[in-house]
Structure 1
Amino acid sequence: MKPTIYDVAKKANVSISTVSKVINGTGSISEKTKKRIWKVIDELQFQPSIASSVKKAMKTIGLLIPDISNPFMAEVTRAIEDNGRKKGFNVIICSTDNDSTKEDEYIAMLKQKYVDGMIVATGLKNSDAIRQLIESDIPVVMLSRDVPKLPVHTVMVDDFQGGYEAGAYLARLGHRKIAMIVENINIPSIKNRVNGFKEGLTDSGLSSDDLTILYSSLDLDESGQVCLDLLENQENRPTAIFVSTELLAFGVFRAARTLMIQIPNELSIVGFDNSILAKLSNPPLTTVAQPIEEMGDKAVELLVDEITNNKEELKKVMQRVVMSPVLIIRDSTAPIS
């Protein structure tokens, strides 16, 4: 078998990206380390791939997202791709489907492809994937996800504030029977939205203990059934529902149509994200908007700065950029009648 870059890295006792930098003449690598790596390359008779020799010309960023079919993630991807191209970088898109095995495989693949850096917009459930990123010399930026143990830049929205604004708004409209439907409370961003929503209610004089919280996947059939079960009980039927992400709102719309519940006269709905679906829904969805363009721009800016500067001191100053959401009021909400 032909030796690989993994064999060189293992025998030289360095990371794969360090070998890559030595081969491509990039980064700040000591002469002693360079000599050791070139010696191992000669000993193993390793021949670098064509990809490594043209790496500098390719200028490529890897992007990991949980699900490309999610409209919000599709818009995030477009923002990153547009901003990356403005700075001369191509973007490789990897959709993990929230699968921890895929996370690990994609990160390994991107490292092997010699990408200049990665933007990670998925939860990283796989500890091996997290370890790979920590040990890698490849610049990384987390987007919309917060992994405190990773020494990387982070760009995210203030999820707590977004949830708070939604709770306070529904309270101002006079709603008292309120429910929330969430996809996964174990995701930190979702948990922050729930906690913010609860505090928005309590600061408005309501008891969050009375808040009904239901869980559903993003599958339309499942979320629709969850909403049907919730809304069929006329005695305890909520007059307002807040969903942790907009795809869940369409389960509410479907259930309301089935039960002939009028939106917003009998049921108000507030979403989170402000994807294109919020504007196209019937009625248009009141939602908490994430600044998608600004987030994508900042993520690319931080990553490219680290890639191009190649300064060790830059890597020590990791930025955690938290942007403010905005409540966009449309026709899916109304004062309680």
Structure 2
Amino acid sequence: MKVTIYDVAEKANVSIATVSKVINNRGKISTETKEKVVHAMEELNYHPSAVASALTGKRTNTIGLLIPDISNPFFAEIARHIENRAHQVGLSVIMCSTDYNLEKEAKYIELLRRKQVDGLVLSSGFRSDDILRELITNRLPVAMIAQHNPSMAVSMVSIDDYKGGYLATNHLLSLGHRNIGIIGENVRSSNLRIYGYRDAFQDKGLVVNEENIVRTDASVENGYTIATQILNRPERPTAIFAINDLLAVGAFQAARELQLRIPEDLSIVSFDNTILARTTVPSLTSIAQPVEEMGAKIVDLLLEEIEEHKERKEQILFMPELIVRGSSGVSEAYVE
């Protein structure tokens, strides 16, 4: 049975309001009462480590990092830059890969609490808003990277996903492509990139073919499967915008198998500009994210919150950059 704040109040023989004040470190509460509440939380296993650590002012100089998939080069690069910056400021990082799984998210959050981390960085793909609200309520410092969720009172560092989607699509439209498939992901950032895709069409007075918008989970295999389906249509697209480099590599494989030349028969544009974008032949045109700056900034924001308990949260939006390489070219079907 899950332990609640009511159980803690009963155990400590205080009111629920008093427990809430102790948890949130607000109001005038005597040291003796604080100790009673913390002791009750410890005995009942009511997230005692994180709360007790915060109340006593003890620091572990450790932060937790949750990413959805370490095999994705984008998240691997983000993790490396976060770890580099954390090391510079005297922090250690415990990294957990959740595989986009809600149960794993909850499990790792609880593990990191028990490890008495000073704060948490949650990256794109974190799905449990309920857990996030609980972390905010319990005043455990939290910051989010590579995703934008303005409804939550946490500091955030992200890319302008909408503009990135617009840049990628507008680039293909400027090359004469009109039939452009898009392979999206089942995450918030993908929604914004698809909005950018739609608006790029609209700004040129063009109608989006809804069949060209397909969503899947991020993997090379899924990119291959979806691209194969798209490219086998009677009126196949002359271009594909893949929402990340993994999906783009899968699209490359599908095009090769169908003996389509890149970019003569099919242009491909990706998002993230990881090392994968430079290993394909030809290399991938991609939307670049400044992952080094983003990784450093999220650590700095989290550290400020840990040390200063800042009430004002910062939401920082970095600008994407279109890196044109060999995978995109003029459409032979729609040359104007």
- TM-score of Structure 1 vs Structure 2, range by shorter chain: 0.7 to 0.9
- The one-letter amino acid paired with 2:149 is V
> Are the counterparts in 2 of residues 199 and 208 from structure 1 also a CA contact under 8 Å?
no
> Are the counterparts in 1 of residues 60 and 116 from structure 2 also a CA contact under 8 Å?
no
- Alpha-carbon separation, structure 2, partners of 1:44 and 1:284: 55
Give the match for residue 32 of structure 2.
35
Q: Does residue 1:336 correspond to 2:336, yes or no? A: no
Determine what percentage of the aligned residue pairs are the same residue: 41
Secondary structure in 2 matching 1:84: helix
Q: 1:335 to 1:8 in 2, by over 3 A?
A: same
- The one-letter amino acid paired with 2:155 is H
Give the match for residue 327 of structure 1.
322
Q: 1:94 to 1:151 in 2, by over 3 A?
A: same
Cα deviation for residue 213 of structure 1 reads 1.1
Give the match for residue 107 of structure 1.
109
- The one-letter amino acid paired with 1:321 is I
Secondary structure in 2 matching 1:150: coil
Q: Deviations over 1:96-139 (max 9, x none)?
A: 11001111111122122111111110433334412321222111
Cα deviation for residue 302 of structure 1 reads 0.6
For structure 2, which runs of at least 5 residues remain unmatched after alignment? 1-5
Give the match for residue 231 of structure 1.
231
Q: Does residue 1:262 correspond to 2:261, yes or no? A: yes
- Alpha-carbon separation, structure 2, partners of 1:174 and 1:67: 35
> Are the counterparts in 1 of residues 11 and 40 from structure 2 also a CA contact under 8 Å?
no
> Are the counterparts in 2 of residues 15 and 137 from structure 1 also a CA contact under 8 Å?
no
> Are the counterparts in 2 of residues 60 and 90 from structure 1 also a CA contact under 8 Å?
yes
Q: 1:109 to 1:8 in 2, by over 3 A?
A: farther
Give the match for residue 277 of structure 2.
278
- Alpha-carbon separation, structure 1, partners of 2:129 and 2:246: 28
Q: Deviations over 1:36-79 (max 9, x none)?
A: 12245678997x98x96999564001111111111100000001
- The one-letter amino acid paired with 2:148 is D
Q: 1:45 to 1:105 in 2, by over 3 A?
A: closer
Secondary structure in 1 matching 2:190: helix
> Are the counterparts in 2 of residues 155 and 295 from structure 1 also a CA contact under 8 Å?
yes
> Are the counterparts in 2 of residues 104 and 128 from structure 1 also a CA contact under 8 Å?
no
For structure 1, which runs of at least 5 residues remain unmatched after alignment? 1-5, 20-26
Give the match for residue 222 of structure 1.
222
- Alpha-carbon separation, structure 1, partners of 2:264 and 2:200: 23
- Alpha-carbon separation, structure 1, partners of 2:79 and 2:272: 14
- The one-letter amino acid paired with 2:295 is G
Q: 1:57 to 1:240 in 2, by over 3 A?
A: same
Q: Quick check: 29-38 or 298-307, which moved more?
A: 29-38
> Are the counterparts in 2 of residues 15 and 136 from structure 1 also a CA contact under 8 Å?
no
- Alpha-carbon separation, structure 2, partners of 1:72 and 1:15: 41
- Please give the TM-score of this superposition, normalised by the length of structure 1: 0.84
Q: 1:34 to 1:148 in 2, by over 3 A?
A: farther
- The one-letter amino acid paired with 1:157 is I
Q: Deviations over 1:139-167 (max 9, x none)?
A: 11011122333211111110000011111
- Please give the TM-score of this superposition, normalised by the length of structure 2: 0.85
Give the match for residue 305 of structure 2.
306
- Alpha-carbon separation, structure 2, partners of 1:43 and 1:179: 57
> Are the counterparts in 2 of residues 180 and 211 from structure 1 also a CA contact under 8 Å?
no
Q: Does residue 1:172 correspond to 2:174, yes or no? A: yes
Q: 1:109 to 1:210 in 2, by over 3 A?
A: closer
> Are the counterparts in 2 of residues 256 and 262 from structure 1 also a CA contact under 8 Å?
yes
Secondary structure in 2 matching 1:254: helix
> Are the counterparts in 2 of residues 66 and 96 from structure 1 also a CA contact under 8 Å?
yes
Alignment map for 1:239-250 (pairs within 5 Å): 239-250=238-249
Give the match for residue 195 of structure 2.
195
Cα deviation for residue 190 of structure 1 reads 0.6
> Are the counterparts in 2 of residues 18 and 137 from structure 1 also a CA contact under 8 Å?
no
> Are the counterparts in 2 of residues 177 and 211 from structure 1 also a CA contact under 8 Å?
no
Give the match for residue 64 of structure 1.
66
- Alpha-carbon separation, structure 2, partners of 1:17 and 1:110: 23
Q: Quick check: 123-132 or 273-282, which moved more?
A: 123-132
Q: How many residues align?
A: 319
Give the match for residue 294 of structure 2.
295
Q: Does residue 1:150 correspond to 2:152, yes or no? A: yes
Q: Deviations over 1:239-263 (max 9, x none)?
A: 1110111111111111111111000
Q: 1:210 to 1:97 in 2, by over 3 A?
A: closer
Cα deviation for residue 15 of structure 1 reads 7.0
Secondary structure in 2 matching 1:32: coil
Q: Does residue 1:133 correspond to 2:132, yes or no? A: no
